[in-house]
A and B are shown apart, each in its own frame.
Chain A
Amino acid sequence: MKLQDYLRFRRIKNKTFAKLLNISPVSLSRYISGERFPEKKILIKIHNLSEGLVSPNDFCLQDDKNYDVNESQKIELKKFHQHILSGSRKHLGKVITLIESSREKDQITSEKLLELFKGNDKSIRIGITGVPGVGKSTFIESFGMKLIRKGFKVAVLAVDPSSRFSGGSILGDKTRMEKLSVNKNAFIRPSPSSGHLGGVAKRTSESILCLEEAGFNIIFVETMGVGQAETEVYDMVDIFLVLLLPAGGDELQGIKKGIIEMADLIIVNKADGELKKSAEITQREYKNASHITNKSRINEDIGVMICSSLNQSGFENVWKYILKFIDIRKKNNAFINERNLQKINRMWGLVDLKVKGFVKNLSSRKFVQELLKNVKINNLSMYRAVKMISNYIIKK
């Protein structure tokens, strides 16, 4: 960190800091402006006083020019933000692309844009999971249309798996959300699971913020129900729904136990025709089972409901449950506390991503390749190489 940035961040006056260093304020301002280079003793002192945030390198190396925006870029960003506020689909589509992009430039632009967002707590973020074939998309189609009729603006974010072989993907969600996809009060964006480091799913929370900024007040986040994305999604929504098939036990469902335990509301889907009976049985089984386990986050038994997209039945109950859930959580401040906690978690998540990205880029460095070569031919022990690389990272 640059010394100037540090002082601003800690709100330390130049005079005070100069005193601590035992130098004149004029010398300090020369160091800051780069006119003079501090001597070794001073450098070490600054390093220690700033808890290591300001290191000697910060005096030698140039600023991260990429990260600064000039005036004209600022105006562009403001315009972009205005477009999003006015609900422009095109700009909303573009900003999600920027968020998901693997290009550093796009990342920075999206971050600068997100910094302008005012944010609000009026929306409801609903996570939905369930195994393939459980009918998540048709559920969202019917439920979403119902909410639109109630006057809401509905957005859907979904992550479809990328092929491990080709890297490509089929993003087919709109075929299953035919009515919702053409409604002017709806926005549906499926994303491929690969893409940005560690998966696009990690960036979905940023996309949520964009949709909220554009005035969408119901945000569905759909996930596969079989992998690890569930915890990630759980950490970005206000309420987490698990969809089940009208069939017995977890094993038959093919859904992981841990996922059921995360549910705020369990919904047995496809309760129509011949399956209605078996849906009711499943409902009963899960009601009994959830009695035994924990109470829900609103200190009641976990809700278990049945639902049919075909007959359009059960949705009103689901909606009432969601409203009650949010209401209780808002009254005892759990809602806002959770969102704040999620924000902090997200921050750490992004730190994690940055570090991973940095490490990933390392492998293309010449000295790392040299290291690898030596490790391979036993010229260098693995542990020594680890030490060298981690030292390098720490210094960075």
Chain B
Amino acid sequence: MSKINIKDWINSAEKELKEKKLEELFWETPEGIKVKPLYTEDDIKQLNHEIGLPGLPPYTRGPRATMYANRPWTIRQYAGFSTAEESNKFYKEGLKNGVMGLSVAFDLATHRGYDSDHQRVVADVGNAGVAIDSVEDMNKLFDGIPLEKMSVSMTMNGAVIPVLACFIASGLNQGCPIEKLTGTIQNDILKEFMVRNTFIFPPEPSMRIVADIIEFTSKKMPKFNSISISGYHMQEAGANQVQELAYTLADGKEYLEAALKRGLDIDDFAPRLSFFWSIGMNFFMEIAKMRAARFMWSEIVKKFNPKNSRSLALRTHCQTSGVSLMEQDAYNNIVRTTVEAMAAVLGGTQSLHTNSFDEALALPTTFSARIARNTQLILSEETGITNVIDPLAGSYYLESLTSSMVVEANKLISEIDDVGGMVKAIEMGIPKMRIEESSAKRQAKVDSEEQIIVGVNKYKPTQKQDINILSIDNDKVRKKQISALNELKKSRDNKIVDEYIEKISEVARGNGNLLEICVEAAKNFCTVGEMTGAMEKVFGRHTLSSKTISGVYGKNVKSNEKISSVNTHIQNFIDRKGRRPRMLVVKMGQDGHDRGAKLIATAFADLGFDIDVGPLFQTPDEAAKQAIENDVHIIGVSTLAAGHKTLVPLLIKALKNNDADGIKVICGGVIPPQDYSDLYKLGVSKVFGPGTNIPEAAIEIMDIL
């Protein structure tokens, strides 16, 4: 074999390029990693990670020795359909058709620890997931599904104690011994403070709760994953892959320390920690991220001197990216999800959720859920991908990229270490700010068509296709939940309930284990809201004080006719009205996903609007009050979780009641197209879906004003 010489290639490449320069083929990723057009063996001579072998430390090639060659990943579809009965039906349908594990989505009221009859959750009950008020709902949820055999993953962080308590109580009801319960509870509160905002208590008691759960499960539920350290929501909030990787591992480190402080042995709980990644369209980067994560995690855990090598192995669940789904030309999403799923599989995930193509519009239908499921089945059973373990190992490009990811992520982790760990960094708002910057940067690139999204900013469809989607009668669900709650409160022994509530507060004040006492409380029919309330009395409810960044979008958006047209519009507006257009951006209800709202706020301010930002979790009356006091021209309602059908009418009514219907209302976010006409009838001036070009939207808004 003749020795290769890179110069030979450069010569012939330059010949092909003619006038173009070779440097023009270099690409800089959003993370600032320089990607060359060609990689050779020179690029893997000096790596910052160890490749190794699967099933052996440092586990870069996978946590199991045989990986998919022996058993493919678990197909685990995340779902929750407003009521326990509906969700139960969906789970059974899935289990019949190839799904291997359950993944429960809870509604927003449950996430925030409110019972369905609480006044602040009028629009949230049954939205974005299943409403769970007590162990009885949990019993209905798993009716006919033996928890002894079924692994259940629960996305729960805020009301994690009461919900896990109800789950355990329900398992015990079925006759399943507690040690046989398998599954995962997300229980990752740090990222809630960073991006998702479905927290309840302040950071300090929240970290104590995490430790309580790790302690309880490590002692009594050896097959249960006590925490799923999630980068998913970071990427959804706009983080780039390096940020997702670094901040998630830094979170993990913080949890390790919290559990160790509790006096646990590292080997008692580290093997039960799991991870959760988002897999977006940046194909090779995602694979590199997953491999880098496994290497880096083993390095992190190694410092705590575990004796069991399983403590070093990073196991992960993956979900295809939700933000990569577009409302425009929605069938394209099937293809996106397929590519993302393939990256997750080549990255060596242990379980996978594939999104349904209609999720940029609404919750999935039976049809779209089936396609999503089949995407995984096809990959697993038709392609032969599973036959070889970690097939991309040794690839010049991939290993080099993995190595770069390790270096870049370590830089961010040291930044966190320097301020004293993740809790401190979160208090200072560092990760939140960095992620918001990435998000604004990306949007600016999409708006100026530097980053292409097919069907959105290029190759736009000429015709709109109608897509059948699922709609939920939130009011009906709520009424049903409330009547069940009333029934429960009549039939249970309320004296015992009161005693348990008092006991929970007592444990919260002291050092006992909150999960332990709440399991007893759940068995005795204390509701999720009551258990949360008992803790809230001691811990208080956390409020978020967040700053909105400015300038990043403006700096990254290329000026074009659209931008200058926005400028002219604004100048005309000032001449006419004596001030800039002023918009209040609100999030109403219990949905804490504020990426969209933040992005709109910062981008519109950079385009020259005066932007008021409302607090999270507002009621329509509160939003109206703020709009009136600030005398805004327009209210922009950001909505993702189907709350718009209840909340927007209430907002418009509140404005009318205050004689302020001169204030225009627009909506943006995940809104099913068939709801548009209802919203317009109500008096909403304009509805914007995901993937809206912001300067275009600004011009449309100015035309309304």
Contacts and interface: CB of A to CB of B under 8 A. Distances in A.
Interface in B526-547: 543-547
**B contact patch SS:** loop
A102 B579 contact: yes
Interface residues of A, number: 37
Interface string A128-158: 0000000001100000000000000000000
Interface in A86-119: 89-90, 92-94, 96-97, 100-103, 106
B606 A168 contact: yes
Contacts of B292: none
A175 B605 contact: no
Interface stretch (B162-170, B239-247, B610-618): B610-618
Contacts of B660: 90
B615 A168 contact: no
Contacts of A94: 631
Contacts of A189: 629-630
A170 B550 contact: yes
Nearest to B550: A170
Nearest to B629: A93
B232 to A, nearest CB: 25
A169 B605 contact: yes
Most A CB contacts (10 A, CB to CB) among B546, B550, B554, B618 go to: B550
A169 B626 contact: no
Contacts of A90: 628, 658-660
B607 A102 contact: no
A85 interface: no
A163 B580 CA distance: 12
Nearest to A98: B578
Interface in B583-634: 601-602, 604-616, 618-619, 622, 625-626, 628-631
Interface string B653-668: 0000011100000000
B607 A103 contact: no
B207 to A, nearest CB: 13
Interface in A153-182: 162-163, 165-172, 174-176, 178-179, 181-182
Is the interface on chain B under 10, 10 to 19, 20 to 34, or 35 or more residues?
A: 35 or more
A195 interface: yes
Contacts of B551: 163, 165
A190 interface: yes
Nearest to A106: B578
A188 B628 CA distance: 10
A325 interface: no
Contacts of B607: 166, 168
A144 to B, nearest CB: 14
Contact of A174 (B550, B578, B613): B613
B33 interface: no
Interface of B: 543-548, 550-551, 554, 570, 574, 577-580, 601-602, 604-616, 618-619, 622, 625-626, 628-631, 658-660
22 contacts: A89-B628, A101-B578, A102-B574, A102-B579, A103-B577, A163-B605, A168-B604, A168-B610, A169-B610, A170-B550, A170-B601, A170-B602, A172-B548, A175-B616, A178-B615, A179-B543, A181-B622, A182-B618, A187-B629, A189-B629, A190-B630, A192-B610
Give 9 closest A-B pairs by Cβ, nearest first.
A101-B578, A103-B578, A93-B631, A168-B605, A168-B608, A176-B545, A172-B613, A97-B631, A182-B622
Given A170-B550, A181-B626, 14 more contacts: A93-B628, A101-B577, A103-B577, A165-B554, A166-B605, A166-B608, A168-B580, A170-B605, A171-B611, A171-B612, A175-B546, A175-B616, A189-B630, A195-B579
